[in-house]
Every structure is written in structure tokens, then in C-alpha cells.
Amino acid sequence: MITKLDNSNENVAKQIFTIFQDSYKVEAQLIGVDDFPPLLRSAKDIENSKTIFYGFIENECLAAIIEIVVEDKHLEINSLTVDPQYFRKGIAGKLIGYILENIDFSTAIVETAVVNTPAINLYKKHGFIEFKRWTPSHGIEKLAMSIEFSTG
């Protein structure tokens, strides 16, 4: 089941934080870095965030989270994380599908590390195409992908 999460609730923010930490540690290993910026985010940062969080609940446990920003029909996927216990069950794809079907947008973008092949393939499967590559100050080469669409 997919539900909107109230990240301003301290307990919910802590649950999101735990999944972010567990998932991003695996992603950092995949990318091959020790210093991974998403791991620096605190539970308090999540609690105070103005972004929108949706969670995938399985067996009454929060299994995955997608974090988005929607402004002027422009959708940004800021994060998509799955608790490692729930890897390879299609949950990330269900969250992306849910957002693409239920949010009114004209353009959606997402960024990920160039070496994060599983994420890139997942976004391609949902119609995203690469439009930019760059290396930010943290040194992890990234790419941006987008899709144009309207559910309105």
C-alpha cells in the first residue's frame, strides 16, 4: 500500500531517516564512495523538510520511500529508497508508477550517479531519458533524466 507520509511527525521522520541510512549505505558501496552526501541528512532535516514523502507499506512496515517536490507542474524526484530487506521486489517501480499516475505534472526530473545502473534502468523503464551529465563538487559523476507527461 502506498500512502503519503507526515514527515513533520518526529517518529515518521525517524523511520524515513532509518530507511535512508540503510539504503544509501548500500548505494554508497555500489557507487564506490565513502563520503555520500545523502548519508549526511539527519532525522531533524527530514522532519523540517518541505518536500513530499510517500511510503510503501508492506506487512505494516515502511519498506520504501519516494520524496518529491512539485512546483508549477514541474516534478522532481529527490530520493527513492528501499529498505534493503525489501530489495528486488519491484517496490521502487511501484512508487515511481504511483507518482507518475497520481501527480499532475508536465515535466519530471531525477538525478542519480552515472554508475548507479539499477536506478538508471528503473527510470528508463518508466520512460525517463538522460539529458545531462556533470560532476558536482563532491566528485560523484551524476546524470539527470527527464520525462514529459501530463496526467491533468
Name the residue among 104, 87, 107 with its Cα closest to residue 26. 87
Q: Which CATH class is domain 2-148?
A: alpha beta
**pLDDT tens digits, 100-118:** 999 999 999 999 999 999 9
- Mean residue pLDDT of the chain comes to 95
**pLDDT tens digits, 6-30:** 999 999 999 999 999 999 999 999 9
Report the pLDDT value the prediction gives residue 78, as an integer from 0 to 100.
97
Q: What pTM value is reported for the model?
A: 0.94
pLDDT at 72 over 80: yes
Instruction: Write down the H helix ranges in 36-144.
Output: 43-48, 91-102, 117-125
Of the chain, the percentage scoring pLDDT greater than 90 comes to: 92
